[in-house]
Chains A and B, each alone.
Chain A
Amino acid sequence: MSLFRMHILIPIDEGTVQAGAFEIKRQLERQLLEKNLDQEIRVLETGTVGIVGGGVILVMFPERLYYTSVKPADIPRIVEEHLIKGRAVKDLHPSPVDIQSGVKDLHQVGPTRKQPRIILDKAWRIDPENLEEVLAAGGYRGLEKILGAKLRPEAVIEEVKSSGLRGRGGAGFPTGLKWEFTRKAPGSEKFVICNADEGEPGTFKDRLILEGDPHKLIEAMAIAGYAIGSEKGYVYIRGEYDLSIRRMQMAIDQARESNLLGKNILETGFSFDVEIKKGAGAYVCGEETALIESLEGRRGHPRLKPPYPVTHGLWKKPTLVNNVETLSNVPGIVYEGSAWFRKFGTDKCAGTKVFTILGHVEYPGLIEVEMGTPLREIIFSFGGGVKEGKRFKAALLGGAAGVFLSEKLLDVPMDFESLKDNKAVLGSGAVLVMNEDTSIVDMLASILKFFVHESCGQCSPCRVGTRQLADLLEKTRKGQGTEADLERMVNVSKTMFATSLCPLGQSLIMPVRSAIENFGEDFLKPGKAS
C-alpha cells in the first residue's frame, strides 16, 4: 500500500449524492491525475458526517478541515490553493473537524458542538467499502476479543446486561435481558435478526449507520449469535434503501472472504453467517413480529404477543430481534467493557443516542449525543435554532407516532425515563422542529393520513380507528369541529391504545393527545382546509 500525504474524504449519503457528490469526486480525481497528484493525494468515499442538506462535503486530512456545498467550479481552486499551495480556500468557509484521540472520539459538526461517538465512531472517517480500513480503525476487535479469549457466552450476556444498554428502536427494553431470554429459550436452532426496516417518518439514522459502517453491524450480529447460541442472522432492510442494501451486501461478502463470517470463524470453531432480506414497502414491518412474518414470505401482519420472538420467533424458533442502532453499541461494549459504556448518558439510560434534527432548523442533520441531553440543546445548539429567525412553536419527537411538545418542555432531558415522565417518548430519535407559522392541525392531519395508509388492516381497532380519527380531524379543519369532537378523538385513540394488536394502532394516542392537550387553541379556530 502506498503512502499518501493527504486524504480527501467525500461523505456519500442520499443528501450529498443528490447534490452531485459523485460528479465532484470524478472531477477531483481527474484534476489530481492532470496535476500528477494522484499518487500523493487520495480521494475516498465515507459514510455521513452528519451534515444533511449541506450539499457536497469534502473533509481534508491531515488538516482536519471540511468544506460544505462544494460546486464543480470550486474544484480547480481547491486543487490549486489547498492541495498544491497548502492554503485553505478561505472564501469557501472551511470549518475545523475536531477529533480527540483516545477511546472517546469527539468531533465537531458544522457550527455546532463536540459529540461523543460510540455508534458512529468510524462512520464518517473510513471508507466503509474497504475492510482493511475498517480493521485499522478498530473494526471486529470486539468479536476477536471474545473469540480469542474463549469467553463464555453467558459472560458476554452479563457484560451487555451490566452496560445498561436498552433497545434503541423505541421501546427501550434492556438488551442484555433480551439476549438472556433468547439464550435460555429451549431449542437447538436460534436466529439473530437485525431490524433495519427503518420507516418511522423523520428517521434516517439506521440508514446512515448501515451505509457508514456496515461491518460494525456484522460484528455485532456475530457477537449476538455467539452469545445466544445462533449460527444464522438476517438483516431485514427496507426495499427503498438501495444504497444500504448494496453496501451491506458488499460488507457481508468481504467478511465471508476474510473468515469473519461463515464456518469456523477465525479458526475458533464458531460459525455464523448473515443474509440480507429486502422489504417491499410496509411501515408495519418495523414491528418485530410483522417483520418476522415478512421474512417468512408472508404479508406483514403482526402476531399476537405473547409468545414473544425470544421463544417463538422466526419459524417459531427462538429469535433475537434488535434494531440497527442498538446492535451498533455492542462491539464497543464488548471491547471496552460495560463500565466504559456507563460513563455515557444517565444512570437509567446509559450510552449515547443518535438523533435526526429536521424541519424548520438552521442545520438539519444527524447527531450522536449522550442520553439525557436536553431537547433545547439539541434544537438550539446542534440544530442551530429555528430557521430564518422565526419563533419556535413545537417539536414532534419520535416520528409520526411521536409527541408534539411545546416550548414549555424544551428543557426535558432526552432519555427514556424523563420523557416518559412528561407523557412523551424517545421513539426513534427524530426531532422535527416547527416554527410559529405551523398549523398543528395540519401536521396532525398529515400524520393521520400516513396511518390510514399504513394500517395493515388486520385488526379492526386500528383499521377503523385511523379512518375515524382522520374524518373527525377533517371536520375540525373545515371549522365544523366542536369540543366534543376533540374529546371523541382522544377517546378513539384511547380505545385503539387498549385494543389494537400492535404498536401501530396503540401509539396514535401519542400524537393525537399531545396535539390536542398542548395545542388545543389551534383546533377550534377556523383553519384552512386543503
Chain B
Amino acid sequence: MAPEKIIAKYDPSAEHLLSILHDLQDAREQHYLTDRDLRLAAEYLHLPFSFVHGVATFYTMFSLTPRGRFIIRICQSPPCHLMGATTVEQELRRFLKVDFGQTTPDGLFTLEMSSCLGVCGVAPAMMVNDEVFGNLTPGRVQEILAEKGGGA
C-alpha cells in the first residue's frame, strides 16, 4: 500500500502519529521509515518535520535506516543478564559478524538490543520479528539463526 493511503486511514490529528509511523514502517520489507514517510506524515498532521523526526528517533522500535528481514531483539535487562544473556549476545555477534544496530551484508538480520521483553520466566530471551525465543544458549541461538537461513 502506498504511504499516502496508509496515512489517510487515520484522522489528521496528532494523536495518531505513533500509529501512522508503526503502519508505515510495517509496510516496508526493510522495517524502516524513509525521509519521505516522515514528510508525508508531517504534512498530513500539520506538524513540523522536525517534530515528526524527533518522535521517530525517540522510540526504539522505529528505525530511519533500512533493516534486515529478521530483526533480532536481544533482551538486556537485569533478569536476562543474570541468566546468561552475555554469552548469548556474544554468540549472536560472533555468528552474524555484526554489532548492535547493524545489519548483515546479505540483508537478512539486524541485531538490536531491547529492554525487558516481559518473558523473564524463560530468560535469557530474544525476539525475532514478532516471535519470542527463551531459555537461550549459544547452541540454541545457532539453531534459530540457521532455521531463518543464516550461516548458509
- State the A residues within 8 Å of B (CB): 14-15, 17-18, 52-53, 198-204, 207, 238-242, 277-283, 294-300, 356, 358-360, 364-366, 396, 400, 430, 432, 434, 438, 442-443, 446-447, 449-450, 453-454, 456, 530
Q: How far is the CA of A413 from the CA of B57 in the complex (A)?
A: 43
Smallest CB gap from B15: residue in A: A297
Q: How far is the CA of A14 from the CA of B58 in the complex (A)?
A: 27
Partner of A240, one of B19, B54, B117, B134: B117
Known: A14-B119, A240-B127, A281-B115. 5 other contacts (CB 8 A): A201-B78, A239-B22, A358-B123, A443-B78, A450-B115
Is the Cβ of B55 less than 8 Å from the Cβ of A15?
no
Q: How far is the CA of A454 from the CA of B113 in the complex (A)?
A: 12
Partner of B118, one of A18, A240, A442: A240
Smallest CB gap from B56: residue in A: A280
Is the Cβ of A201 less than 8 Å from the Cβ of B15?
no
Is the Cβ of B81 less than 8 Å from the Cβ of A446?
yes
Q: How far is the CA of A356 from the CA of B134 in the complex (A)?
A: 16
Q: How far is the CA of A364 from the CA of B45 in the complex (A)?
A: 46
B residues contacting the other copy or chain, number (CB 8 A): 45
Is the Cβ of A53 less than 8 Å from the Cβ of B79?
no
Is the Cβ of B78 less than 8 Å from the Cβ of A400?
yes
Smallest CB gap from A449: residue in B: B76
Given the contacts A282-B59, A432-B79, A358 and B120 also touching, CB distance less than 8 Å: yes
Residue of B13, B79, B117 with most partner-chain A CB within 10 A: B79
Q: In this assembly, does B28 line the interface, its C-beta being within 8 Å of a C-beta of chain A?
A: no
Number of A-B contacts (CB under 8 A): 153
Q: In this assembly, does B149 line the interface, its C-beta being within 8 Å of a C-beta of chain A?
A: no
Is the Cβ of A203 less than 8 Å from the Cβ of B118?
yes
Given the contacts A14-B132, A241-B118, A450-B76, A295 and B15 also touching, CB distance less than 8 Å: yes
Smallest CB gap from B130: residue in A: A242
A313 nearest CB across to chain B (Å): 13
A-chain residues with CB within 8 Å of residue B62 when the two chains form the complex: 280-281
Q: In this assembly, does B116 line the interface, its C-beta being within 8 Å of a C-beta of chain A?
A: yes
B-chain residues with CB within 8 Å of residue A282 when the two chains form the complex: 58-60
Is the Cβ of B116 less than 8 Å from the Cβ of A203?
yes
Is the Cβ of A359 less than 8 Å from the Cβ of B79?
yes
Partner of A202, one of B45, B114, B116, B122: B116
B141 nearest CB across to chain A (Å): 14
B-chain residues with CB within 8 Å of residue A200 when the two chains form the complex: 116
A530 nearest CB across to chain B (Å): 7
Q: In this assembly, does B18 line the interface, its C-beta being within 8 Å of a C-beta of chain A?
A: yes
Residue of A240, A396, A400 with most partner-chain B CB within 10 A: A240
Partner of B115, one of A18, A360, A453: A453
Q: In this assembly, does B111 line the interface, its C-beta being within 8 Å of a C-beta of chain A?
A: no
Q: In this assembly, does B14 line the interface, its C-beta being within 8 Å of a C-beta of chain A?
A: yes
Q: In this assembly, does B121 line the interface, its C-beta being within 8 Å of a C-beta of chain A?
A: yes
Is the Cβ of B134 less than 8 Å from the Cβ of A15?
yes
Q: In this assembly, does B38 line the interface, its C-beta being within 8 Å of a C-beta of chain A?
A: no
Given the contacts A18-B132, A530-B86, A447 and B61 also touching, CB distance less than 8 Å: no
Is the Cβ of B17 less than 8 Å from the Cβ of A201?
no
A-chain residues with CB within 8 Å of residue B58 when the two chains form the complex: 282, 299-300, 456
A-chain residues with CB within 8 Å of residue B13 when the two chains form the complex: 297
Given the contacts A280-B59, A282-B60, A296-B14, A52 and B22 also touching, CB distance less than 8 Å: no
Q: In this assembly, does B77 line the interface, its C-beta being within 8 Å of a C-beta of chain A?
A: yes
A-chain residues with CB within 8 Å of residue B45 when the two chains form the complex: 297
Smallest CB gap from B21: residue in A: A280
B-chain residues with CB within 8 Å of residue A198 when the two chains form the complex: 118
Is the Cβ of A283 less than 8 Å from the Cβ of B115?
yes
B-chain residues with CB within 8 Å of residue A53 when the two chains form the complex: 121-122, 134-135
5 closest cross-chain pairs (CB), A and B:
A52-B121, A201-B77, A280-B59, A297-B17, A281-B60
Q: How far is the CA of A358 from the CA of B134 in the complex (A)?
A: 13
Q: In this assembly, does B27 line the interface, its C-beta being within 8 Å of a C-beta of chain A?
A: no
Is the Cβ of B61 less than 8 Å from the Cβ of A280?
yes
Smallest CB gap from B14: residue in A: A297
Q: In this assembly, does B133 line the interface, its C-beta being within 8 Å of a C-beta of chain A?
A: yes
B-chain residues with CB within 8 Å of residue A240 when the two chains form the complex: 61, 73, 114, 117-118, 127
Contact code string B48-70 (vs A, CB < 8 Å = 1, else 0): 00010011001111100000000
